[in-house]
Structure 1
Amino acid sequence: MLVFLLLIGAVAGYAYFQYKQGVNQSLNKINKDKKQANVVYTFEGKKDQYGDTNILLLGSDARGKEKARADMIMIAHYNEDKGTFKLTSIMRDSYVEIPGHGKHKINSAFASGGPELMRQTIKQNFDIDLQYYAIVDFQGFVQLIDEAFPDGVEIDVEKKMEKNIYMTLEPGLQKLNGTQMLGYVRFRHDAIGDFGRVERQQKAIKAIRDQLSGFQTITKLPKLIGVLSPYVNTNMATSDMLFIGKDFFSNKKGTMATLRIPVENSFTEPRIKGEGAVLDIDVEKNKQALHQFIIQ
């Protein structure tokens, strides 16, 4: 019994050491003049009616600025009993009812009321509860990729990409570093615009998960979470991130299913005064598609 307790203590100590090492590594790279206060948000989340844990993932260039619109909106669906994950992307131009603010693009909910108003907006329109949120500064994504993949993430770049990403990505199967991966997932200046960007974001997350799966990744997980932590505003405890991350990177869980909202044939693309081009979605059709996706 004593040996077992000592072993548990050693493992916990090693995990904490790795976590702190990752945190300090990132803090040393953050320009103190640009570092912003970690805003404390109210978030009244809970598990959904199916027993899943839903994590609201928001991507932003300006963590902590309450007026910044969310550049990426995703929901990670985690089923603890099965240890499985699904991923839903909500397109930022989806034109929906925002509680207390009328109809607007959904990404403006974050600017108006932080992650809590985004949670309320998703609940009102799609009848799904969210338990956690994580606002990720995109520079944290860069640091995480470079730490986890010293040789880069293998991605099949489907076309030449260069406009507004401050680099040129040539087509073909290749390994991208953190900065290049950020350019890849943010590129949208082609014929399909945000639709292509959402598809690439999901493709990138799948590639990261597939290429990090296995026991070696589990042992590196505390440091990876530490590297990301200074760039993330979240209501998740570190222990929750470790527990969920362990299942996310397990190589026994199969492929990760994905969904995009709006689904096909469920929206129009009008121009609205004061909003510009929007995705005017059939809320009921998309709500049904989301619920079916979660329970199947």
Structure 2
Amino acid sequence: MEEVVVFKLERSKRKKHRFRWRRAFFILFVFIFLIGGTYSIIQYKQGLSAASDGKYKNDGTTFEQFNGNLPDNGQINVLLLGSDSRGEKNARTDSILIAHYDQNTKQPKLVSIMRDMYVEIPGHGKQKINAAYAFGGPELLRETIKQNFNVDINYYAVVDFNGFSKIVDTIAPDGIKVNISHEMSSGIGMTLHPGEQTLHGKELLGYVRFRHDQLSDFGRVERQQEVLSKLKDQATNIKSVLKLPKLLGLFDSYIDTNVDTKTNLILGKDFITGQAKNVQTLRIPLDNTFENQRYDDVGEVLNIDLDKNKEELQKFLKDDNESRKK
């Protein structure tokens, strides 16, 4: 009988001990959650405050409806655009890129579309491809890429270059290392001297926008791909992860996009946790597949071998799918 009583007392003590530990764990969890939530809110508001001059504070209201199909088979294509607007209503795009991500292989790819390519724009005839944005925003540019290259675009993101330097400085506060081959000054409001050096936000913006040399837009496209790839690597840094709420605040005002929350979470998780592989890049048109020509109505253009570039672009985007089938 005494043994039974002792057993019951010990069991009661163990239950009380477990209850205390559960309660303590719950209190600690709530405390961490509150601290983390407060930190995130403060960081997010700091981002919004830093982006008070952003022109995309109300996503989805700047442009006409975007009719891209939802992605299937884990393939996501996002049209990344940078506008060279100085306040005019029908500005052309300064940069056109397709960001491709395969959720199955974790492979990111970046395609730079040369803005002076001479293509058919639905409803407007033959024009430089960046004119599509001026005529009908991201949607007409999506239609143009679909008609000429048969590539489906699912989402768009338009970057306000005024916020580029702040976004870069938040992701990479210690700067990005680059090797400048020659002096750059014309058209960027600064002078960048030759040599290997570390550039920060405003300097990097000048670096990726400079085009007044013998390589013209081709050199600029290479620099854009270089910087975006290095920013992707910086985004996996623990300091950048902690600043994610602040980045979201900056993005809200400096980037207009229709990328949904679920897709944002998928992409953010893979990139921040380092699961995403190194970025593969391509430029369209390819070398030796175009000629420089001039037309009175549009000026200097790149007259391209459309069939060859279309074939190579589709192959580049589909390579991961085919390799998984083998």
Same fold (TM over 0.5): yes
Q: 1:253 to 1:238 in 2, by over 3 A?
A: closer
Determine if the alignment matches structure 1 residue 23 to structure 2 residue 85: no
2:301 to 270, 274, 278: 278
Which blocks of at least 5 consecutive residues in structure 2 are unaligned?
1-21, 320-326
Please give the alpha-carbon distance, in whole angstroms, between the structure 1 residues aligned to 2:95 and 2:65.
20
Please give the alpha-carbon distance, in whole angstroms, between the structure 2 residues aligned to 1:22 and 1:251.
24
Q: Give 3-state SS (helix, strand or coil) of 2:80's partner.
A: strand
1:66 and 1:110 in contact (8 A); partners too: no
After TM superposition, the structure 1 stretch with the greater mean CA deviation from structure 2, 241-250 or 72-81, is 241-250
Which blocks of at least 5 consecutive residues in structure 1 are unaligned?
none
1:215 and 1:250 in contact (8 A); partners too: no
Determine if the alignment matches structure 1 residue 93 to structure 2 residue 116: yes
After TM superposition, the structure 1 stretch with the greater mean CA deviation from structure 2, 91-100 or 279-288, is 279-288
After TM superposition, the structure 1 stretch with the greater mean CA deviation from structure 2, 244-253 or 172-181, is 244-253
Q: 1:35 to 1:49 in 2, by over 3 A?
A: closer
Q: Deviations over 1:60-117 (max 9, x none)?
A: 1338854000000001001122332100000000110101110100000000001000
Determine if the alignment matches structure 1 residue 179 to structure 2 residue 183: no
The aligned length equals 292
Partner of 1:213: 236
Q: Deviations over 1:187-243 (max 9, x none)?
A: 111111001010110011112122332344233222112123211111124554343
Q: Give 3-state SS (helix, strand or coil) of 1:270's partner.
A: strand
Please give the alpha-carbon distance, in whole angstroms, between the structure 2 residues aligned to 1:76 and 1:5.
38
2:83 and 2:92 in contact (8 A); partners too: yes
Q: 1:63 to 1:57 in 2, by over 3 A?
A: farther
Q: Give 3-state SS (helix, strand or coil) of 1:269's partner.
A: strand
1:19 and 1:226 in contact (8 A); partners too: yes
TM-score (norm 2): 0.81
Q: Give 3-state SS (helix, strand or coil) of 2:93's partner.
A: coil
Q: 1:278 to 1:259 in 2, by over 3 A?
A: same
Q: Give 3-state SS (helix, strand or coil) of 2:208's partner.
A: helix
What is the RMSD of the two structures over their aligned residues, measured on CA atoms?
2.7
Q: Give 3-state SS (helix, strand or coil) of 2:243's partner.
A: helix
Amino acid at match of 2:243: K
Partner of 2:75: 52
Please give the alpha-carbon distance, in whole angstroms, between the structure 2 residues aligned to 1:126 and 1:134.
20
Determine if the alignment matches structure 1 residue 166 to structure 2 residue 189: yes
Please give the alpha-carbon distance, in whole angstroms, between the structure 2 residues aligned to 1:110 and 1:239.
27
Amino acid at match of 1:100: G
Alignment of 1:130-209 (within 5 A): 130-209=153-232
Partner of 2:324: none
Q: 1:292 to 1:47 in 2, by over 3 A?
A: farther
CA displacement at 1:59 relative to structure 2: 0.3
1:84 and 1:247 in contact (8 A); partners too: no
Determine if the alignment matches structure 1 residue 253 to structure 2 residue 276: yes
After TM superposition, the structure 1 stretch with the greater mean CA deviation from structure 2, 121-130 or 158-167, is 158-167
1:63 and 1:137 in contact (8 A); partners too: no
CA displacement at 1:173 relative to structure 2: 1.5
Partner of 2:102: 79
1:54 and 1:77 in contact (8 A); partners too: yes
Amino acid at match of 2:221: V
Q: 1:54 to 1:63 in 2, by over 3 A?
A: farther
Q: Give 3-state SS (helix, strand or coil) of 1:159's partner.
A: coil
1:214 and 1:250 in contact (8 A); partners too: no
TM-score (norm 1): 0.88
Please give the alpha-carbon distance, in whole angstroms, between the structure 2 residues aligned to 1:66 and 1:75.
24
Please give the alpha-carbon distance, in whole angstroms, between the structure 2 residues aligned to 1:49 and 1:282.
29
Would you tell me which structure has more helix in proportion to its own residues?
A: 2
